[in-house]
Every structure is written in structure tokens, then in C-alpha cells.
Amino acid sequence: MSEVTTLNVSVRDRVGKGAARAARREGLVPGVIYGNKLPPIAVSVEPRVLWAEMNKPGFSTRLFDVAVDGKTERVLCRDVQRHPVNERPVHVDFLRVSAESRLHVHVPVHFANHDKSPGIKRGGVLNVVAHELELVAPANAIPNSVVIDLTGLEIGASIHLSAVVLPVGVTAVTHEKNPTLATIAAPTTSASTADEAAAAPAAEGTAPASA
């Protein structure tokens, strides 16, 4: 888990679509803090600050501390609505969390040590089946990513969920007993190369036409 980042927000005195539009006219991104059995709080965020955080790794699994009315709220970003053209944030939802919170999060899967896999070194191809995993984790133990070590894996190897070591208290949500996350497949030959190779023996065995 990464360190908690402090995020500066401003409290909005009004809620609703009209208030959100007003915040956007002022160049701000409207948002809301909700959850943990407390009333929601309307806030606004500087777009450059929010955009910078969104472009850092693990944005959706990182915790933030926001100061609201002299009190610090610990939150997780649950949703960001984007502009359909430029994809800039137009609204953000923050979920309050506590030490007792257990959250469903989607965490990216990363693969390490490609150069230490004999199968990949011999031309094998890593086929990724799961680019992310859904996990249930305590708020203070959300992993930024799940890292799978490819060391020693040969062509034909399959990597299953059972091979993943998750942090204490973190469990995976799956619809299969032991799903496949990735495989190392044999190198493939392009169709044109294969066609040329198949045609070569036939061409060699064809007698030349008589003059």
C-alpha cells in the first residue's frame, strides 16, 4: 500500500445540478464525499490537482486525506465522470473509509521478470487473460497492484490465481474456483510465411513446362 496523499478541496454551500454547473463555471470540478453512515458533503477540487492525481499509478486504489470544516476525512475515489470529448474530469465521488472498512476494489495485474522466463526468451508469447483482479481489502491494506513473477516459466505454462500471494486480510472475488490469469504460448508463424513454406515443396516438385 502507498502512503496516504493529502488532497485539498473546498466545501460547496449548495448541492444539485445548478450548484455543480456553477462550480464548473468557476473552473472547478464538483464532487461529493459520502458513506460511513454520515451525511454527504458537497465539495469542489482544482482540476489540475485532480488531473495530476488521476494520472499517477493506482489512482482508484489510493487513499486520500481531505480537510473538510477543520476535520480530516479519509477517502477513496469511487468514480470520476469525464467530459465525452477531452476526457477531463467533470465530477468526482469520494467514499469515506475507516480502519474497519472492507472495500471491493479492482487492482491491476503486473507481470515481472519477463527476461527470466525461459519460455519467453525462446520466443513464447505472454497471453494475459486477467488485466486486473477484483479484491476485497481493508481500507488500510489495499495493494496498488498484484505482481506475478514469470521467473522460470516455460512455453505452455499457465498462471492461476492460486499462484498469487495476496496481503494478509485481502481476498480475491472470482466466479471460478481457480481462474487462469495468463499463459505462455508457443510462438506463432504468420499466415503468409506459413503459406510460402507450404508452397515451396510443391513448387520444387513441379516439372518445368516444355518449350
Distance of alpha carbon 174 from alpha carbon 62, whole angstroms: 22
> Is residue 210 pLDDT above 80, yes or no?
no
Query: 120 is written with which cell numbers?
Result: 519467453
Mean pLDDT score, 154-182: 93
pLDDT of 208 above 70: no
In this prediction, residue 140 has a pLDDT band, given cuts at 50, 70 and 90, of confident
Q: How far is CA 9 from the centre of its chain?
A: 25
Q: What angle do CA 172, 136, 29 make, to 5 degrees?
A: 125
CATH number of 5-97: 2.40.240.10
Is pLDDT of 192 > 50? no
pLDDT at 196: 53
Name the pTM for this structure.
0.72
pLDDT at 206 over 80: no
Is-contact 3 140, C-beta < 8 A? no
When comparing pLDDT for 97 and 196, which is higher?
97
- The mean pLDDT of 99-111, rounded to a whole number, is 90
- The answer to whether residues 42 and 17 touch, using CB atoms and an 8 Å cutoff, is no
Q: What share of the chain is helix, strand, coil (3-state, %, to 5)?
A: 20, 40, 40
- Quick check: 173 and 146 in contact, CB under 8 A? no
- pLDDT score for 184: 96
**Cα distances (angstroms) measured from residue 135 to each of 23, 66, 102:** 35, 25, 10
Is the separation of the CB atoms in 182 and 144 below 8 Å? Answer: no
Question: How many whole angstroms separate alpha carbon 155 and alpha carbon 138?
Answer: 37
Q: Which CATH architecture has domain 104-191?
A: Beta Complex (2.170)
27-36, 99-108, 182-191: range with lowest mean pLDDT: 182-191
Residue % of the chain over a pLDDT of 70: 86
* Residue 158 half-sphere exposure toward CB, CA atoms < 13 A: 7
The highest-confidence range among 9-13, 69-73, 97-101, 130-134, by mean pLDDT, is 130-134
Q: What residues does each domain of the chain span? A: 5-97, 104-191
pLDDT score of 193 more than 90: no
Q: How many of the other CB atoms lie within 10 Å of CB of 43?
A: 24
- Tens of pLDDT, residue by residue over 74-96, are 999 999 999 898 888 999 999 99
